[in-house]
A = this chain, B = another copy of it.
Amino acid sequence: MKVTVSRKAHFNAAHRLYNADWSDARNAIVFGKCANPNYHGHNYELIVSVNGEIHPETGFVMDMKVLKKLIENEIEEKFDHKNLNEELKEFRTLNPTAENIVVVIWNILRPKIDDKLALSITLYETPRNFVEYSGE
């Protein structure tokens, strides 16, 4: 009897899309206005989903208060009101596309969550663009 439990959170950050191995011209062609060297930004909406058995005593798959706190400490603290390219070591050489950000977040949270729970992360970069990663 496996249930998926999801918690929404959010953070606001600046970024630019940029491949350091390319010329500025090529970056501008491939990434368009997202390559703006002065950065732009987003309100990122994050959904963290864990799947597993319901614990018979609590009725929880995972205590939502614990999950909320974990997201605050591990993700919001680190990403909120930051410049992803400049301030997060993960993106020093990795382009902060939504795809790469969602994988980075999954990799941060995976070791902090019980191995018996499957983990899936959804990230909205804008209300119209979003990505999902399940570690597969």
Contact = CB atoms under 8 A, between A and B. Distances in A.
B39 A83 contact: yes
Nearest to A57: B19
- Count class of interface residues, chain A: 35 or more
Instruction: Give this chain's copy count.
Output: 6
A43 to B, nearest CB: 5
A132 B12 CA distance: 21
Contacts of A131: 3-6, 61
Contacts of A132: 3-4, 6
A3 B38 contact: no
A88 to B, nearest CB: 10
19 contacts: A3-B102, A5-B99, A6-B129, A8-B127, A9-B128, A13-B41, A15-B41, A17-B59, A36-B81, A39-B39, A40-B80, A42-B42, A42-B43, A43-B126, A54-B103, A58-B95, A59-B94, A59-B100, A61-B99
Interface of A: 1-10, 12-15, 17, 19, 21-22, 30, 32-34, 36, 38-43, 54, 57-61, 63-65, 80-83, 86-87, 94-100, 102-103, 126-133, 136
Top 5 closest pairs, chain A to chain B, by CB: A41-B41, A59-B97, A38-B83, A59-B95, A33-B81
